[in-house]
Amino acid sequence: MNITVVFFLGLFVALIGVIPPGLLNMTAARISLKEGPGRGITFSSGVCLVVFIQTYIAAIFARYLSNRPDIVEILQRVAFVIFVLITIYFLVIARNQKETKIETDVRSKQSRFFHGIILSALNVFPIPYQAYMTITLASVGWMNFERLSIITYVTGASMGTFVMLYVYIFFFDKIKDRKFTSQKSMNYIIGFITGIVALMTFISIMNEL
């Protein structure tokens, strides 16, 4: 397997996961607005360090599961149901919620690097997300679970997270008042992304029948 392809797969998967505005990217953006881009980048570096560790754990877990096809089969079906429910929630229910502004306290002068580590460590979503995605990529032959492949994928995932945080840091001030950054629009984006993942899962399940 070409390690360049594996690297960009990791980058793309992580990039998609960080597109919707959440605690990490919105915090990075607001730190940048109030304290300067350098502090935002320092915060993002701490976030990416934890993402590297989380993705590595996810890949090792996925390697173990790859040797248990019976468990993978069950998890695929559970994941399909979960992603369908999440898609329905964001496309049908969440779109009607009131607009709210995300405010983050960025007044503390403590090290932004460790601030990023702490907040990223509290966000455990990358572990199941990356575990599922690595199993899926491996099942279609786009990557394997050799050490070099795992390290390359994990590095790509860290870079993908950093790229999206970088985009938030340097462009959020210019686009924050645009219509597509509203909570309603972001609900549609999240629903669209989870819908694609659900479709990929469904296709994978059907191919195994």
Question: pLDDT category, 112, cuts 50, 70, 90?
Answer: confident
* 69-97 per-position pLDDT tens digit: 777 777 778 777 877 887 787 777 656 65
Rg over alpha carbons for the chain, rounded to the nearest Å, is 18
pLDDT of residue 59: 93
pLDDT of residue 107: 46
CA angle 70, 71, 75 (to 5 degrees): 125
* 176-185 per-position pLDDT tens digit: 555 544 556 6
The single-letter DSSP state of residue 93 is I
Output the pTM of the full model. Answer: 0.75
What CA–CA distance (Å, rounded) separates 108 from 121? Answer: 19
* 120-136 per-position pLDDT tens digit: 998 878 888 888 888 88
Residue position matching structure tokens 């990929």: 200
